[in-house]
Amino acid sequence: MRKFPLYCLPLAAAGMVSCQQPGEKADRPNIIFMMTDDHTTQAMSCYGGQLIQTPNMDRLAAEGIRMDRCFAVNALSGPSRACILTGKFSHVNGFTDNASTFDGDQQTFPKLLQQAGYETAIIGKWHLISQPQGFDYWCILSGQHEQGDYYNPDFIENGQPLREEGYVTDVVTDKAIAYLENRDKSKPFCLMYHQKAPHRNWMPAPRHLGMFNHTVFPEPATLFDNYEGRGTAARTQDMSIAHTLTEDWDLKLLTRNELLADTTNRLSQVYRRMPQDVQAKWDSVYAPRIAEYRSGKLKGKELISWKYQQYMRDYLATVVAVDENIGRLLDYLEQTGELDNTIIVYTSDQGFFLGEHGWFDKRFMYEECQRMPLIVRYPKAIPAGSVSSAIAMNVDFAPTFLDFAGVEIPADIQGRSLRPVLTNGGAEPADWRKAAYYHYYEYPAEHSVKRHYGIRTKDFKLIHFYNDVDEWEMYDLANDPHELNNVYGRPEYADRQAELMELLRETQQQYGDTDPDEKVRELFKGDRRMMPGR
């Protein structure tokens, strides 16, 4: 790929190069990186989701590009964020699971942009334990293990704690707009705008409480999946709507008197943060739900379906607030004349299960959570209404930002700039990657999803669950998009299986993850066509 000198930005539309000195804004684009937590493409109308309408996300897609095959390389909040910041996989950046602490001394793309004359900021969810580095301004959520609270959230602003009144999604946007208003306007900026929503436990804004109480959402085809033909990992997870959703924290089945009586309860602690008028609305909205549940009439599959509806009503209401606030930010940029000078990215740290396979949460290499939304708007270089099927990963974000900013991409970054895809209407170069790589580490831990790694090509997925098991899964995505039929070891797939095993080996060598478990080395020694399916 052609490289340009520091502070030089290729102007794709004009076929020219603009060069400037450090500290000069010139034509270098601003960057706003919008990231939510646990937002999945099923809950975005621009991705064909049928659950709700997301008009502001849809606007970004219509005026930019929608990437249909963007994947998290480790579908967990902290690890995904570390991969995005560094452009490196978990085994390289050191943040493999949520028990890790991010090494802030290492190279990140905000540091590189800052050194190149950008003003950098992060506002909202951080979730990397250590203090942010490489930012001229930072204001991150604190409390609840750095998840923050939906109501009257606590922040740490440049090292100082503070509490803000209001709903977290609105507050983060207020802070983002205030930062943009007061920044050094002689410099281009990079703002990481990170929302808490729609993270568990899905508490809607006061204006949206009860908005879906009378809506019945369609159930996913696999809500009552029995995991027949699949491995131990699917059967032994602890993330089911049937058994894992809690009555208090998740389903919100506590009355006002119960919430006020138990000060140790997490929901009670958040409830007490609410103004009295919001508490009153909360009580009235959730009273029918509590009464219906306590009637004792809900049993078996009917109870699971009921829990699914309550989950969707809360989750989707938090997404509505996210979409509204994206609109607020776009309006501000338009009013200040910066909209078309700014690369605007919308994504989430990974996808999420919305009842598929009977689950909520993420972690698995299955499609609903490995796949993440990615929309990019920048009319100076990206054709409006573009759609791409090129395989992208979240480690690609860092080199993409550096590339657009005219900053040399360090050789140790493992991702690849998406710029040639974004600026070419979504078409991928001839030498583009054949597969996305994935590696999940957090086991044993919450939700009990076993460690696994694998590759995802355009049509197939190969997964190896390891550590306390040794099981392989392979899915023919063209014929089995719901990933219900494990074809690993089937004779009719022997040739394709051998190809995928070889591609997995090559991919692990490329990214330096050559020994995720000792057993795989022995498997690669033999005839890969003869390896047993377990």
3-state SS string for 88-151: CCHHHHCCCCCCCCCCCCCCCHHHHHHHCCCEEEEEECCCCCCCCCCCCEEEEEECCCCCCCCE
Cα separation, 276 vs 30, whole angstroms: 41
Q: Flag whether pLDDT at 73 surpasses 60.
A: yes
What's the pLDDT band for 518 if we cut at 50, 70, 90? low
d(CA 296, CA 338): 56
Confidence band of 24 (pLDDT split at 50, 70, 90): low
Residue 23's pLDDT band (cuts 50, 70, 90):
very low
Q: Per residue in 257-292, pLDDT tens? A: 999 999 999 999 999 999 999 999 999 999 999 999
Which pLDDT does position 4 carry in this prediction? 31
Q: Which residue has the higher pLDDT, 155 or 143?
A: 155
Q: Which of 18-32, 163-177, 181-195 has the lowest mean pLDDT?
A: 18-32
Decide if pLDDT at 425 tops 50. yes
State the Cα–Cα distance between residues 183 and 172, nearest whole angstrom.
16
Is the separation of the CB atoms in 40 and 354 below 8 Å? yes
Report the pLDDT value the prediction gives residue 515, as an integer from 0 to 100: 79
pLDDT for position 255: 98
Give the separation between CA 220 and CA 7, rounded to whole angstroms: 49
Q: Is the pLDDT of residue 10 over 70?
A: no
Q: What is the pLDDT of residue 97?
A: 96
pLDDT bin (cut points 50, 70, 90) of residue 22 is: very low
Of the given ranges (94-98, 261-265, 457-461, 515-519), which has the lowest mean pLDDT?
515-519
The pLDDT confidence band at residue 524, using thresholds 50, 70 and 90, is very low
> 409: pLDDT confidence band, cut at 50, 70 and 90?
very high
pLDDT at 18 over 50: no
510's tokens:
């490329």
Average pLDDT over residues 33-57: 98
Average pLDDT, the chain: 93
Lowest mean pLDDT among 13-17, 132-136, 241-245, 484-488: 13-17
- In this predicted structure, the answer to whether residue 12 has a pLDDT above a threshold of 90 is no
Domains of the chain (ranges; CATH) run 207-311 (no CATH), 436-530 (3.30.1120.10)
Which 3 state secondary structure label does DSSP give 339?
A: helix
